[in-house]
Structure 1
Amino acid sequence: MLKPPITRMGGKSKLRKTIIEMIPEHTCYAELFFGAGWVYFGKESSKVEVINDIDKELINLFRMIKYHAPEIERILEYDFSGRNIFDEYKNATIEHLTEIHRATRYLYLTSQSFAGKGGHYGYGTTTRPSPQIFYKDALQSLKERLRNTYVENLSFEKIIEKYDRPNTFFFCDPPYWETAGYGNTFGEKEHLILRNMLKNLQGKFLLTINDHEKVREWYEGFNFKEVEVNYSVSKDKKARGKYKELIITNYNT
């Protein structure tokens, strides 16, 4: 299993083994909300693979790893964890940067910020700085993994419309219901659009989401698997602990 180059809010590091074991036979594998890509980087390659996210900087990062991994390594080779460096990257005008420099900026900010959100410099008295330098073997492995993958930056609706076939499997990890921290608006309207499109799929889907009565109401009639996940990344100790989540599918596992 490969490790993603970044962390993201709601990443599936703790659930990916369970999810991978539940993936049915398919020809085309498509992720609607890619994020850090824990499941994609953890599973065996499919014949056809599609990764998608609406975050342009995230998708640019994976495109640049796919095509320019050595240059990203060269730029970051001698960088270290520093507040001034962090602020320089954070306050840089993206429009004035090349795609490669945008990718290195994104890598640095996510690796050196609290919870990988890129907003505030991460530091502590009991932990070392997070590594922002990626060894050549690691980046090369990621590059090889991305080689035969379609990298998209579209809405989830368009990805479903373009790639839905009887032999397609969609992994769906949308922003959780009534959960803060994702940095984009994904309310009931968006959740219902997603639900309605999943109801009418030609292919199969697996969706991960927090266990909420509203969610259970939306997906009534589908297959539910209840799981518990331990979250430890939070400034507020009260927010840490085990949370119930759902894995929802339109097929039997």
Structure 2
Amino acid sequence: MNNSGAALRHHKKPIISPLRYPGGKASLYPRLRAIVRANNLTSGTYVEPYAGGAGAALGLLVTGQVRRVVINDLDPAIYAFWKAVVDDPMAMADRIKKVNLTVSEWSKQKEAYLSAPREDYLTLGFATFFLNRTNRSGVLNAGPIGGVDQTGKYKIDARFNRETLIERMRLISLHSKRITVLNSDGMSVIKRYSKRDDTLVYADPPYFEKAGSLYLNSFDDTRHASLARCLNEVSDSLWVLTYDNVPRVTELYEARRREVFSLNYSAHRVTKADEIMVFSDSLTVA
């Protein structure tokens, strides 16, 4: 197994996603771009079965590295956000422009997040977005930046730059016809798309350590093992997987090529952690 954190080339990465995600993978854009090109997929489709913030997907799409992207998330709130952004980005932008950035508004959006009908994509999606931008570390079940009494060093509006976020909505709207949003189990998405010759699947599932505090749909070992079976069964397809670098990953993907890399991690405080990238047999690794 190669240890090649240096292989994550230092090209400037585009920041397109409106969401904040601990350990978000927008920083992998240069490496994924190189993989797309090495496998002649610039006219193809890029799929994220566990999309979350979809930072890499949107970066690849907006910069013309791939023709289409598929964003899937099983969490109905995250799905509602992406559905609202793709279907009606200007409505989302209008709400960003007008919303009050106060603890009182945070309480209203928290209630909407907990009680809005799943099919009301705009209400649920915006509430999800509001909490993501105003909560500590972007974690949906955390409290507001600065605390309810707003006595912290940073205040609730610290990560809510209206102009920047509206511009990201505008950029996404220009490419919305080439974005597919799904609300399915990640493994079903892998099975659906992995056999397509013009498609790269990038799986970034909930991690082993600290997953329960960061993801609303965390995995237990049975789910991690099921995902491994799913991916190992399609090792002749084109896929990449990332995980936290724990021994269990090596056990589950013993027969696959693996590479350790470093990534900045921003939940609660910025740290650098080793993670592991796993490659399918058919993938040309750039």
Q: What TM-score does the superposition give when structure 1 sets the normalisation length?
A: 0.88
| 1:41 Cα deviation after fit | 1.3
Q: Residues 32 and 172 of structure 1 are in contact (CA less than 8 Å); yes or no, is this contact kept in structure 2?
A: yes
| 1:145 Cα deviation after fit | 2.6
2:234 paired with 1:205: no
> 1: CA distance between counterparts of 2:136 and 2:243?
23
Tell me which amino acid in the other structure corresponds to 1:9.
Answer: P
Unaligned runs of 5+ in 2: 1-13, 147-151
2:194 corresponds to which residue? Answer: 164
> Across the two proteins, how many residue pairs are aligned to each other?
249
Question: Alignment partner for residue 49 of structure 2, among 32, 36, 49?
Answer: 32
Tell me which amino acid in the other structure corresponds to 1:197.
Answer: C
2:96 paired with 1:76: yes
1:230–1:75 Cα change, 3 Å: closer
Q: Residues 112 and 132 of structure 1 are in contact (CA less than 8 Å); yes or no, is this contact kept in structure 2?
A: no
| 1:152 Cα deviation after fit | 0.8
Greater than 4 Å deviation, 4+ residue runs: none
1:204–1:243 Cα change, 3 Å: same
2:210 paired with 1:195: no
| 1:37 Cα deviation after fit | 0.7
Question: Alignment partner for residue 174 of structure 1, among 176, 185, 205?
Answer: 205
2:57 paired with 1:51: no
Tell me which amino acid in the other structure corresponds to 1:130.
Answer: R
1:122 corresponds to which residue? Answer: 145
Q: Residues 86 and 179 of structure 2 are in contact (CA less than 8 Å); yes or no, is this contact kept in structure 1?
A: no
2:217 paired with 1:184: yes
1:7–1:147 Cα change, 3 Å: same
- SS of the aligned residue for 2:162 comes to coil
1:61–1:166 Cα change, 3 Å: closer
> 1: CA distance between counterparts of 2:120 and 2:248?
43
RMSD: 2.2
Unaligned runs of 5+ in 1: none
1:64 corresponds to which residue? Answer: 84
> 1: CA distance between counterparts of 2:85 and 2:161?
14
- Aligned-pair identity in percent equals 19
| 1:211 Cα deviation after fit | 0.9
1:227–1:197 Cα change, 3 Å: same
> 2: CA distance between counterparts of 1:54 and 1:81?
28
Q: 1:196-225 deviations in whole A, cap 9, x for unaligned?
A: 111122521101111111111111121111
> 2: CA distance between counterparts of 1:96 and 1:148?
24
Q: Residues 112 and 118 of structure 1 are in contact (CA less than 8 Å); yes or no, is this contact kept in structure 2?
A: no
| 1:18 Cα deviation after fit | 2.6
